[in-house]
Structure 1
């Protein structure tokens, strides 16, 4: 998995394609400040490679995600209750992991960097906090706010800004980018083997690197690629995919080793008529400009461009729960699967250390290493790490 803190091996997926509903609200008015180029917004990356920042909504500070995989910006039911936002129209939206219930309401004012929108509607969703790991958010900023402007993301400096469409603040590899006609999602393309794959959703809220539908993967997969399984969370629930590591995948003129997810042909990408998705796990290796109105995405290699993909050598996907780890998934064909590990098992110590103090690379360590895992029932098991995909 392409994460710098790989002990917790899970990545979040978002994705929300909301239907069009009419809500009684003041008309939406957008205003981009004349000094927007100077209004950088600092952010932190979540454990799932998502852009988390603080902004203002209706005069309240709110923790937000910058998420081009969301067509209509949304707040959580928790924030709506606290802010006195009343649900006006009920509906459902298509999301990664399945359908999700939502309601619509009107808002007074939302700010993102140099952009201010007054009036308009926003969705209210009951978001599973696991989609953002240990850092819950209450606002998902989607393409309805972002797509009319150029969005520059400087992952190395952990900041972003909104610019007038057409600006080109840096040079790099240019790819086509547009808004999909039906879904309103950002879409581009990539190359796998000899084939050009398009459309591919560009989703800053997806923590993975690249996802492809199963039929596209089968038609374009290089030979002798081993796969395993992994799980993640979308706004619509838990998703289990096959994963593989590709030594080279090209996006424009750039090539990189990537972790690839293979999702079902009934999954979110296929339902949106796309071949797959480019997520934050790949985007974070670059300086990024997303400008669908100018029909271009620009990528320049960043400090992380040559980072190798971090692979699990244990096969245990775990989450920290206070002073213990819970096994969430046992990856197919892994040492853990061969040793009979099961989801739900609780681990209280690693090589004699409390889980919070153990080295964070224990699950992705050198093949052949023996890791002692003490379960919370008092038993101890030894797991021998190995390459398995």
Structure 2
């Protein structure tokens, strides 16, 4: 799996398709500055490959995520309370992991790079902090703000900008891109083997590389590929998927090995009528232009384009728990599964070193290596790393 903090092996999914509700708010007016091409926005990548940046909402600086998998921009319940935003209309929205409760409120002004929107509505959602990593998020910037313009994301320089639709600031491989009629999700396509799969949701808020529905995977899967399991958090809760590393995925003229997740046919992609999703874990390997109004996505290989996929060799997915590590999932058919590890186990030391100072790559180490893990109950266990998917 490819993550910036590989020991944690924690993927993140967002996805929010909100129903249209009437809210007593000033009409939304969007304005893109004439010099928007100079208004780059710096960002950092979260451990889940999400684009995190600072921007202004109602005159207040907020922490935001750039998320094309969110239909309507949303603020967290925590931020709404602190900012005095009153919920006006309640409802529910479809999200990765299940439906979530939300409410709607009006806002005065939001700025994203050279784009300013005055008036309009925003959703209020109770977001699980595990969705966005350790640092809380105030605002999810979604399709309602982004889709009318060209969005250029320079992952190597960690910056993005909004441009007038139709601009072509760099050359690369071009794929079709459109908006879903009802949800406003970004839709494109990819190829697995000799099959073209469409539509595929393009989701900058999904930390994974590629996801497919189970029925699409079963019809297209290479016979020799081994699968395991992994978990991730969506706005609607925890999701467990099958995971495989597949060498033959083509996206436009770009081909290579990808980590692929297999979703249930009752999952978010299938509910939206899509074959799957293309996420930030794959997009971050490229310079990206998303311009649904012009009908295209443009990709140029970046510095990370040839990075190998990082795979677990332990089968332990862990998360920080104060000065310990908590096992949150044991991957199927892994060394950890074969030796009886269970979710919930607490680890206090690795090879004799406290968790805080231990090597961070132990869970993805060289097959055959023996790792000594000290549990917080004082017991010690040895895990022999191996390739298992």
Structure 1 runs of 4+ aligned residues shifted over 3 Å read none
* Structure 1 CA distance for aligned equivalents of residues 136 and 42 of structure 2: 17
**Structure 1 residue 135: deviation in Å?**
2.2
Q: Over residues 155-183 of structure 1, what are the superposed CA-to-partner deviations in whole Å (9 max), with x where a residue is unaligned?
A: 00000000000000000000000001121
* Structure 1 CA distance for aligned equivalents of residues 245 and 385 of structure 2: 18
Is 1:4 aligned with 2:4?
yes
The correspondence of residues 23-38 of structure 1 with structure 2, limited to 5 A, is 23-38=23-38
Q: What residue is the counterpart of 2:237 in the other structure?
A: 237
Q: What residue is the counterpart of 1:379 in the other structure?
A: 379
TM-score (norm 2): 1.00
Q: Over residues 51-102 of structure 1, what are the superposed CA-to-partner deviations in whole Å (9 max), with x where a residue is unaligned?
A: 0000000011100000000000000000000000000000000000000000
Q: Over residues 263-311 of structure 1, what are the superposed CA-to-partner deviations in whole Å (9 max), with x where a residue is unaligned?
A: 0000000000000000000000000000000000000000000001000
* Structure 1 CA distance for aligned equivalents of residues 308 and 195 of structure 2: 24
* Structure 2 CA distance for aligned equivalents of residues 316 and 10 of structure 1: 10
Q: What residue is the counterpart of 2:139 in the other structure?
A: 139
Q: What residue is the counterpart of 1:316 in the other structure?
A: 316
SS in structure 1 of the partner of residue 357 of structure 2: coil
Is 1:273 aligned with 2:270?
no
**Structure 1 residue 111: deviation in Å?**
0.4
* Structure 1 CA distance for aligned equivalents of residues 70 and 246 of structure 2: 27
**Structure 1 residue 136: deviation in Å?**
1.8
* Structure 2 CA distance for aligned equivalents of residues 111 and 256 of structure 1: 37
The correspondence of residues 66-215 of structure 1 with structure 2, limited to 5 A, is 66-215=66-215
**Structure 1 residue 256: deviation in Å?**
1.5
Q: What residue is the counterpart of 1:43 in the other structure?
A: 43
8 Å CA contact retained: 2:4, 2:49: no
* Structure 2 CA distance for aligned equivalents of residues 365 and 44 of structure 1: 26
SS in structure 1 of the partner of residue 174 of structure 2: strand
* Structure 1 CA distance for aligned equivalents of residues 255 and 361 of structure 2: 26
* Structure 2 CA distance for aligned equivalents of residues 182 and 21 of structure 1: 13
* Structure 1 CA distance for aligned equivalents of residues 247 and 254 of structure 2: 13
8 Å CA contact retained: 2:287, 2:300: yes
**Structure 1 residue 5: deviation in Å?**
2.1
**Structure 1 residue 373: deviation in Å?**
0.3
**Structure 1 residue 248: deviation in Å?**
2.6
The unaligned stretches of length 5 or more in structure 2 are none
Is 1:252 aligned with 2:252?
yes
**Structure 1 residue 360: deviation in Å?**
1.1
SS in structure 2 of the partner of residue 356 of structure 1: helix
* Structure 2 CA distance for aligned equivalents of residues 310 and 95 of structure 1: 27
SS in structure 2 of the partner of residue 219 of structure 1: helix
8 Å CA contact retained: 2:98, 2:236: yes
TM-score (norm 1): 1.00
* Structure 2 CA distance for aligned equivalents of residues 77 and 314 of structure 1: 37
* Structure 1 CA distance for aligned equivalents of residues 386 and 69 of structure 2: 35
* Structure 2 CA distance for aligned equivalents of residues 225 and 179 of structure 1: 33
* Structure 2 CA distance for aligned equivalents of residues 302 and 352 of structure 1: 39
**Structure 1 residue 356: deviation in Å?**
1.4
Is 1:291 aligned with 2:281?
no
Q: Over residues 305-352 of structure 1, what are the superposed CA-to-partner deviations in whole Å (9 max), with x where a residue is unaligned?
A: 000100000000000112100000000000000000000000000001
**Structure 1 residue 115: deviation in Å?**
0.2
* Structure 2 CA distance for aligned equivalents of residues 143 and 86 of structure 1: 23
The unaligned stretches of length 5 or more in structure 1 are none
**Structure 1 residue 359: deviation in Å?**
1.1
**Structure 1 residue 223: deviation in Å?**
1.0
Q: What residue is the counterpart of 1:217 in the other structure?
A: 217
* Structure 2 CA distance for aligned equivalents of residues 112 and 331 of structure 1: 39
* Structure 1 CA distance for aligned equivalents of residues 135 and 207 of structure 2: 14
More moved, 102-111 vs 129-138: 129-138
SS in structure 1 of the partner of residue 333 of structure 2: coil
